[in-house]
């Protein structure tokens, strides 16, 4: 039932345009109907205001359902909900006024209509903040206007790559443009906000988004580098992805320690990165697409083709690293034995494997023990039990394991994972592991970071 409510709530963004249009038409008609020769139009007004009231109430109800889905926080979210409710109530009030005085337009109704237009505008403004971020409307506003309303002043234009702030001038604008619509101070999809440097590093429900100096542990870099048709790719839902040059910039920034409050010259860059930054900052230089650093390493084309034919998406881990990042092509479908066997033919090459939502059972997991190069393994939403985890003890380099949504994994299965000495991160939310089991795991492996969902993280210091 909850999923159906969330499904209906998604129609809020479609329904909200209807009352806006009707209210505008109704106010204009009431204004025109004040003149004697157009007085007959007043008889239509009650029908328009009735339609406005019904559509406004429906939109508000759908908005509450959408809000219940989560991810909407902050002043804009609260203000949007408040003013949307007031707008619906005001529309019903004006409908009542129009029915009391059908066939004529009095000053009170016209004034109320104008007030409603203002409410619609304010509600839309806060809704736009949720969709595009709170800085969207004022991004190009003149400095005097920004000062008048207390908005932060825009940073001065960058005139050289050397003097640019790596985060404030390059990375933050890049992320706001591509990801800010879903991950801002008011709308935190997945619990993740990019409203500030600290929020960007902390991440959301899936853990740390950026770990300075550690590319492999940075979930943000992993997701932006996935193929666009991968369900875990970000930005999602058909939004414009980062270009290859922008992904390369993110790689440089994270590997450099995610610097901020400094200058590019203080961090130090190569000529290739300088060209990328110059293009991103609009300072000329080589086109960004042509400036992506190239390396000599190239993945085996025949092996990649074989994996693709077996139902996997494959990419090279980096320009200078021919190891493979592999994920299922069609999440939700079942991997057969032949597809899993194909993975073993690339055992020495696969370092990052995403088999989430692949109907994988314990027998399928057993074959994964033959992939000794894997460091990142995502097995969320499958049919894995404690029996299947035993095979993972054969993976000598495994650092990151995601078991989200496998209810058959219990405390007993943790005994197999304790023996994986290389393991650094473990995702256990919506599994059958108990609080007592998690506590025992913390005592046995205090250095292990355990993600429990809803922002709960277990470390050596406790939860």
**Residue 136: partners with Cβ closer than 8 Å, 6 or more residues away:** 128, 129
Of these ranges, 194-198, 237-241, 268-272, the one predicted with the greatest mean pLDDT is 268-272
Least confidently predicted of 143-152, 271-280, 343-352: 143-152
Q: So what's the pLDDT on residue 410?
A: 93
Q: So what's the pLDDT on residue 265?
A: 84
Q: So what's the pLDDT on residue 419?
A: 85
Strand 350-354 with 321-328, pairing? parallel
> What value does the mean pLDDT take over residues 148-174?
75
Residue 294 has pLDDT above 50, yes or no: no
Work out the angle at residue 340's Cα, subtended by the Cα atoms of residues 339 and 342, and round it to the nearest 5 degrees. Answer: 65
Please report the beta strands in 307-348, taking only residues with DSSP state E, as ranges in sequence order: 312-318, 321-328
Contact in structure between 303 and 349 (CB atoms under 8 Å): yes
What percentage of the chain reaches a pLDDT higher than 70? 77
Residue 188 has pLDDT above 80, yes or no: no
Residue from 69, 76, 82 nearest 12 by CA: 69
Q: Which CATH number is associated with domain 301-458?
A: 3.80.10.10
- The tokens describing 123, both together, are 């509600």
Residue 391 has pLDDT above 60, yes or no: yes
In the block, residue with structure tokens 């992904």: 247
Please give the mean pLDDT across all residues of the chain.
79
Q: So what's the pLDDT on residue 289?
A: 42
For the chain, the structural domain boundaries read: 2-132, 166-290, 301-458
Residue 416 has pLDDT above 90, yes or no: no
Q: So what's the pLDDT on residue 207?
A: 64
Query: CA 243 to CA 246: how far, in whole Å?
Result: 5
- For residue 293, what pLDDT band results from cuts at 50, 70 and 90? very low
pLDDT digits (tens, 9 = 90+) for 8-23: 877 887 888 899 899 9
Radius of gyration in angstroms for the set of CA atoms belonging to the chain, rounded to a whole number: 27
In the block, residue with structure tokens 């960004």: 288
> What value does the mean pLDDT take over residues 310-329?
81
Residue from 200, 296, 318, 193 nearest 252 by CA: 318
3-state secondary structure of 148: helix
pLDDT digits (tens, 9 = 90+) for 57-88: 999 998 888 877 765 666 777 788 888 899 99
- For residue 384, what pLDDT band results from cuts at 50, 70 and 90? very high
What percentage of the chain reaches a pLDDT higher than 90? 12
DSSP character at residue 10? T
Residue 451 has pLDDT above 90, yes or no: no
Residue 113 class from Cβ within 10 Å (0-12 exposed, 13-18 middle, 19+ buried)?
buried
Contact in structure between 192 and 183 (CB atoms under 8 Å): yes
Residue from 333, 285, 292 nearest 310 by CA: 333
DSSP H helix total and E strand total for the chain: 19, 8
H-run or E-run covering 176: helix 172-179
Residue 361 has pLDDT above 80, yes or no: yes
In the block, residue with structure tokens 């991160």: 425
> What value does the mean pLDDT take over residues 50-61?
91
CA 439 vs. chain centroid, Å, equals: 31
Residue 186 has pLDDT above 60, yes or no: no
- Regarding predicted confidence, which is higher, 131 or 257? 257
């Amino acid at each position: 039932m909850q999923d159906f409510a969330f499904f209906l709530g998604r129609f809020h963004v479609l329904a909200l345009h209807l009352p806006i249009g009707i209210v505008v038409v109704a106010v204009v008609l009431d204004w025109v109907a004040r003149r004697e020769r157009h007085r007959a139009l007043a008889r239509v007004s009650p029908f328009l205001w009735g339609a406005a009231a019904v559509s406004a109430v429906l939109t508000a109800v759908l908005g509450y359902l959408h809000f219940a889905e989560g991810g909407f926080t902050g002043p804009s979210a609260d203000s949007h909900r408040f003013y949307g409710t007031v707008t619906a109530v005001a529309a019903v009030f004006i409908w009542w006024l129009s029915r009391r005085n059908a066939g004529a337009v009095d000053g009170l109704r016209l004034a109320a209509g104008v007030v409603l237009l203002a409410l619609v505008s304010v509600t839309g403004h806060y809704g736009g903040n949720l969709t595009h971020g709170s800085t969207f409307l004022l991004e190009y506003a003149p400095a005097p206007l920004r000062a008048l309303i207390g908005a932060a002043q825009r940073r001065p234009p960058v005139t050289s790559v050397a003097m640019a702030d790596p985060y404030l001038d390059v990375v933050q604008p890049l992320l706001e443009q591509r990801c800010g619509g879903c991950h801002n101070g008011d709308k935190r999809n997945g619990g993740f906000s990019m409203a500030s440097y600290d929020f960007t590093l902390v991440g959301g429900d899936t853990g740390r988004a950026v770990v300075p100096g550690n590319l492999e542990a940075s979930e943000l870099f992993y997701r932006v580098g996935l193929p666009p048709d991968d369900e875990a790719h970000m930005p999602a839902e058909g939004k414009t992805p980062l270009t290859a040059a922008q992904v390369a910039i993110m790689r440089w920034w994270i590997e450099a320690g995610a610097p901020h409050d400094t200058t590019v010259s203080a961090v130090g860059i190569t000529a290739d990165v300088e060209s990328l930054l110059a293009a991103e900052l609009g300072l000329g230089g080589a086109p960004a697409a042509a400036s992506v650093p190239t390396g000599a390493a190239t993945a085996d084309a025949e092996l990649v083709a074989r994996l693709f034919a077996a139902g996997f998406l494959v990419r090279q881990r980096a320009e200078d690293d021919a190891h493979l990042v592999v994920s299922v092509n069609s999440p939700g479908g079942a991997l057969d034995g032949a597809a899993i066997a194909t993975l073993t033919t690339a055992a020495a090459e696969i370092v990052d494997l995403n088999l989430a939502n692949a109907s994988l059972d314990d027998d399928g997991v057993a074959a994964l023990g033959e992939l000794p190069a894997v460091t990142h393994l995502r097995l969320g939403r499958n049919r894995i039990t404690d029996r299947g985890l035993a095979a993972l003890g054969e993976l000598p380099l495994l650092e990151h394991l995601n078991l989200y949504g496998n209810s058959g994994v219990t405390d007993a299965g943790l005994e197999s994972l304790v023996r994986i000495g290389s393991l650094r991160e473990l995702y256990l939310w919506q599994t059958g592991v108990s609080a007592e089991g998690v506590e025992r795991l913390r005592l046995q492996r205090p250095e292990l970071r355990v993600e429990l969902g809803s922002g709960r993280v277990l470390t050596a210091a406790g939860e």
